[in-house]
Structure 1
Amino acid sequence: MADLPALGIGLALLLGNAFFVGAEFALISARRTQIEPRASEGSAMARITLRAMERVSLMMAGAQLGITMCSLGLGAIAEPALAHLLEVPLAAVGVSGPLLHGIAFTIALAVVVFLHMVLGEMVPKNIAIAGPERSAILMGPPLYLVVLILKPLIVTLNWTANIVLKSLRVTPREEVASTFTADEVAGFIAESRQQGLLEEAEHDLLAGALSMGIEQIHAVAVPLSELVVLPAGATPAQAEAECVRTGFSRFPIRGPEGDMVGYVHLKDLLMAPAHTLAQPIRPRLIRPLVEVDGETTLDAALTAMQARGTHVALVTTQGEPHGIAMLEDVVERLVGEVVDAAQRPKD
């Protein structure tokens, strides 16, 4: 083959290598959440990219096949052609014999390897990482088409690779995970606050929302020994007196056997007729407690309270009562301090 056409083919192979490398890194780095809106808006390229991301194992096999073929072709075609071209100027400066071909081959090999590493590997990789979603939409569909054309060969290669992975007790993945762990999200929130991208109140709200799915209800429960409770047979007058003394508006009721049978809310007692203030609180005014295990997360406990329509939960440890958690104690983890409606604000 003539040297100049061979170098032209070598340039095409170099660009092909860059394409496959860029497509591979783009599909791995891109987030579905960034591409799905464009697919919903009707972008055909985005829809094809999503299909490619759902078959990432096949796409990677296709990309690796393309990279391998381009690299081998580059070495087989471009390097000899470049070496042959270099022999002319080397001969002109007095290099001859076996030394001529050896020097030309070494220089040609160094140039081809340098261009392959820089233009065929490093540049496309960094472009894909710098803008993964844009790169995926541009290069994902062409790679998807290549994989469809060469599907029998690529499926065979992928099947063989999966057998090797399973023998090593590694589960093959068809799609790259596009979610973050709680620790990663917490790190993003903290870093955003440090860089001034979030106000303190915004940071606290986001951090609190994240902790709701991690922190357990026992962390906010008040031990039974520290509770302000009303005894069985307590009167509305006693509840009002405790409200004045403590500033609380909800009081658990301790049954005759020492167990918590429910709680009363002060607002339910305010409508009681005057002649009943010295009589035991009516059973219909005692609200039920929802029982939750101490290892229940705050968000799950909040859901349980909402489902039962109660503001007070009985927290248990291995089935035994441990303490009481109020709704505001749970909400405080999200929005900060919540003052009981019956409490006076501090000066």
Structure 2
Amino acid sequence: MLSIIIIIVLIALNFYFSLAEIGLISVDKNALTIQANGGNQRAASVLRLIDDPDEFLSAVQVGITLVGILEGLYGGDMMAALLEPVFRSWHLGNYGAHLLALLIGVGSITYLTIVFGELIPKTLALLNPEKISFIITPSMIIFSKITYPFIKLLTSSTKYILGLFHINTIREQKLTDNDLRGMLILAYKQGLIEKGEFMLHKNISTAYDLPAENIMTPASIVTVVKEDMSRDEITATVQRSTHRTFPVMTAGNDIPGALMIKDFFLQPDKPLRELISPVSYLSLNQGIYDMFQLLRREGTIMGIVLNEYGEFEGIVTFHDIVSGLLGNLPGYNTKERILQQQPDKSWLTNGITRLSFIRETLNLEWLRPYEEEDITVAGLLIGKLKHIPQPGEKVTLNQLTFEVKSMNKHRIEEVIIREVSST
């Protein structure tokens, strides 16, 4: 009976160390960091333990090795001693009974150790590493302290041997975009950050590389001030618009700068050329962060977006950049400028209009999943049609039709959005 108890204890110890090994290796360190910063002492204890993987792995390995040695020394012989009398009664002879009992004993111990001492605990640890690490850590800390001298010898030997081969034992933890998104989601689910803060971080990480083409106001709907206009003509032009800043265009279609309304009306005696503020020049694929840095560095109020031929494609302001990062902001009659309701109750919009803007303005929450694949209306159409569309081609989603109204070369210029029932 004592022999069976010893075998069970050895397998249980093997179970414990295997559970500790996989649980502590598999646990999400980023998630623990968030919890520890939130005051979770158990998470902080786990972090302290796994901060030096060499030491806790050495402690685990010491335990597994000791258990393995004891199982090898006593396990097989104990099982053989229990089984040998049975086989002798089968008239197998002393040698035959001993050999068969030893084979079955060692085989049984090996099977039980693999299943109950290795596979089951490791599977459990992989399924729930965080919970396991919380349970295991206090006892592992005690075991590490008890075996500290031997563990120190092992870790020092390991580092010395690796150093002979010039292998760096200091691992730099690199945080990927997916890790960051996972940490944000976890922090939001655990109530560490509010929904608004979560959406702010999410928008910034998603829109970081958003190109100018996706946030600019296209040239087709930009109100420009011509350099040769009279003051009365300029006044009439700006009064018809809700904008506060206007690009100034020369007779040769160049845009040397922008005119701010306040400068124009507060300084009526100055000629137009003296009121023009400098602008920055952007490419269609220039990222939103690069645009922000450029406008700030050059101290300009507007970015002029040009294509590869130097042709005017649109404008970008700080308002557009902030809207791209944080979501649509109030002001400038954005809805009326980008999304215009037609007499037949349909909506006319630009191909570069963001799906998030359509969702928020028309209260179409079902559009949200599509935003993960396509940022703009044009991207949605091209993604669903699998080709550059022609005017009249359409895509229907959830009883809503997106129809291409006009094209500018290979770019979708205007799109009509209408309910299927109204077609």
Give the TM-score of the pair, scaled to structure 2. 0.58
In structure 2, what is the Cα distance between the partners aligned to 1:228 and 1:72? 84
SS of match in other structure, 2:93 = coil
Is this contact kept in 2: 1:236–1:269, CA < 8 A? no
In structure 2, what is the Cα distance between the partners aligned to 1:163 and 1:216? 50
Equivalent residue, structure 1, for 2:302: 312
Structure 1 residues 210, 61: closer, same or farther in 2, change over 3 A? Answer: same
SS of match in other structure, 1:264 = strand
SS of match in other structure, 1:78 = helix
In structure 1, what is the Cα distance between the partners aligned to 2:237 and 2:140? 73
How far does the alpha carbon of each residue in 1:216-268 deviate from its partner, in whole angstroms, 9 at most, with x for none? Answer: 568757899x98765668766555555578875433457999997653334x2
In structure 2, what is the Cα distance between the partners aligned to 1:61 and 1:321? 66
Corresponding residue to 2:139 among 133, 139, 142 = 142
More helix by share: 1
How far does the alpha carbon of each residue in 1:255-285 deviate from its partner, in whole angstroms, 9 at most, with x for none? Answer: 999997653334x257537xx2x852485x6
Equivalent residue, structure 2, for 1:197: none
In structure 2, what is the Cα distance between the partners aligned to 1:265 and 1:333? 23
Is this contact kept in 1: 2:45–2:137, CA < 8 A? yes
Corresponding residue to 2:47 among 45, 50, 57 = 50
Equivalent residue, structure 1, for 2:266: 272
Equivalent residue, structure 2, for 1:30: 27
Tell which has more relative contact order, 1 or 2 (C-alpha 8 A, sep 6+).
1
Q: State the Cα distance separating 1:85 from its structure 2 match.
A: 0.6
Counterpart check, 1:341 vs 2:341: no
The residue type paired with residue 67 of structure 2 is C
Corresponding residue to 1:213 among 208, 216, 235 = 208
In structure 2, what is the Cα distance between the partners aligned to 1:250 and 1:116? 77
Q: State the Cα distance separating 1:51 from its structure 2 match.
A: 1.0
In structure 2, what is the Cα distance between the partners aligned to 1:173 and 1:87? 53
Counterpart check, 1:182 vs 2:172: no
Q: State the Cα distance separating 1:135 from its structure 2 match.
A: 1.6
Corresponding residue to 2:66 among 65, 69, 83 = 69
SS of match in other structure, 1:14 = helix
Q: State the Cα distance separating 1:294 from its structure 2 match.
A: 9.0
In structure 1, what is the Cα distance between the partners aligned to 2:254 and 2:273? 18
Equivalent residue, structure 1, for 2:95: 98
Counterpart check, 1:16 vs 2:20: no
Structure 1 residues 270, 171: closer, same or farther in 2, change over 3 A? Answer: same
Structure 1 residues 215, 95: closer, same or farther in 2, change over 3 A? Answer: farther
Is this contact kept in 2: 1:55–1:174, CA < 8 A? no
How far does the alpha carbon of each residue in 1:168-212 deviate from its partner, in whole angstroms, 9 at most, with x for none? Answer: 66532468x484x225667999xxxxxxxxxxxxx9987643333
Give the TM-score of the pair, scaled to structure 1. 0.69
The residue type paired with residue 326 of structure 1 is T
Is this contact kept in 1: 2:208–2:325, CA < 8 A? no
In structure 2, what is the Cα distance between the partners aligned to 1:178 and 1:29? 16
Kindly report the root-mean-square deviation, in angstroms, between the aligned alpha carbons of the 2 structures.
Answer: 4.8
In structure 1, what is the Cα distance between the partners aligned to 2:305 and 2:57? 51
In structure 1, what is the Cα distance between the partners aligned to 2:24 and 2:118? 16
- Aligned residue pairs total 324
In structure 1, what is the Cα distance between the partners aligned to 2:34 and 2:203? 28
Structure 1 residues 246, 151: closer, same or farther in 2, change over 3 A? Answer: same
In structure 2, what is the Cα distance between the partners aligned to 1:112 and 1:141? 29
Which moves more between the two structures, 330-339 or 79-88? 330-339
Q: State the Cα distance separating 1:81 from its structure 2 match.
A: 0.5
Which moves more between the two structures, 25-34 or 307-316? 307-316
Corresponding residue to 2:316 among 325, 332, 335 = 325
Percent identity of equivalent pairs: 21
The residue type paired with residue 120 of structure 2 is V
The residue type paired with residue 312 of structure 1 is M
**Unpaired runs of at least 5, structure 1:** 190-202
